[in-house]
A and B are shown apart, each in its own frame.
Chain A
């Protein structure tokens, strides 16, 4: 080691970053250059192992990386410059934190001697992103960089996955130091997420499951994050026990929508049968979900008569919103495997015929009913047509946030995990288009559709340019009702129909807009033309903006009104103006 110039591990900080990406198997990153990351971009230019996708706004890089991660199970990587580059990443980082998406963001920083001087494009990136990352680092010494990068990938992808950020000052990118490949000692000794479930708790859980008369399995995004094994085991558990299963928004696809035990999604816009089953059950097995407020409704009336088993890798999810009886901390896949093993060895499939009869009655209420029209396209009908047209195809769906997102969750049947990318926890309008870019980069030959709303899609519409540049044939299926539909729905239901600033005045002509970007624009206004237009959209091998004009004032039902419990859902057939007013006025009258 006398002559360091021949040591292949001697390199600049910028080279270390690219090298670390390669060592972690990263093939695609999403980013936007700027002053404080130019040395890294220079390294990217001189290699071909890592493909860089140039977005049009850093938020797009973050959501694209999320879509990439969610659809592959691998970490997504974003590269941004200091100052505004970093602040533009705050939304995707927070989004990934809420939905437990593994994301590694590398940000440039002003040179170390300028930090704190209010230098050009300086901001306190680690300070700003501290509450919206699982962990973050500012690297002041090039010899710490390899260790930090390896730790960053480890922290992002293990335990409860999440976003991390590594802030690298420009002088550290230029400086030469020693690189080393990933090794165990790179990680804080204090970081050791628990994977294996406690055996006593698992036995308790099995005996509850075996004695259940009215059981339900409530699964979430954690099952998908855990990996394909967890999905397989969840399906096997449903088969072995014969239990009904529902899922959160984030968990769709872990159990197939065509499965006979599937109840549909639960929660605020979940199905009547899913919510009633949750409310009346005697044993609830929650796997990788977190009793979010969109799920529980009124917490003091949430599933009042049940014993609750909660499997979660994050101990802070236990008893956060709902008190549970049997918490099991660890990885879903691991614990489901143990539960299955004990169940098969020691328990029998409980007789729950009566429970299924009850569920059949709830199903018969047909809570997703809507009235089709020959004159105007109902948004539910549009999603159903899209689903039928893509059934059996290799399809990935992303969404924006709002009514269209809930209709997509209700009417698009997901058969496999990793096929559904949506912003659940943070509810980020503008997520779906860049997420579709990321998904398409990961799956170049698959059909990738962003089910969008006319308001959401405009928040990140500039990424159409990215799609065109990289020939990513994403399909943006806009349910255009000329409103921020969910905002309008709430205003109608809760604020005396005073539609304050929820009308999309001066909407662009989406067909012309698509053409301006060099993409394909399609528009459909009549139900009779819908199927043909969808077929055309799928056939086009270029990015498409699909302007689907739908009924403007359609509301998303069924719905748990605010302050109500699962068994107080408002069903579509009851949701005439008078009943709706009554359901919501009840809440108001108590004020």
Chain B
């Protein structure tokens, strides 16, 4: 199948998924409410008792926290992709698509692209809420608009990469319900055993090691650096020393591996 058909077929499917979003606005809404709740809870409940780089100032924690919440939020798009694809399988839509002369990877690509749009919306709302509760870029180190946009770019790329993991989960489970929980439970250890919510340098050494090599941590560290926010960990671990590169490499690697696996699974899907 030609490259042209891959692009146009993916766009047809992305469009279909975006239309669905406008017909089920509550899904977009819940996608936004959950991280907003996290921002408010972490800022006001944990904010006073967390120490970042020796400081227990709630304002420091607030500025430290946002990169973590943003990164966690984009990865949670995984559940949406997984559930969406499992739903298409269950309803027989995947059978319909697989019987059509369309590009093989387009159903999944279209889905992940539509999920990326949802992630953009969520992230925009979240950034506004963060600003309202007092998050400021350049609070620790000077930064500029280009670097801040770069940070959001890395976040979106990470989110996109994780939706491919979601696609594979969606193709591997039997029901959309299983896909929703299967798409999210593993994200709790991934996002908590990291530098997202606590200063990783205060963890026990073996846990700290995991946290520093966690693909998710690289993006968080990169965002803190680019946002000019506090809490950038000094470490011997390569991903913590070169977080922007590490974030890019991890995300591209995840897309490469999981896209290949998911498309192969889709082709062979016995539904």
Chain A bound to chain B:
no
Interface residues of B (CB under 8 A from A): none
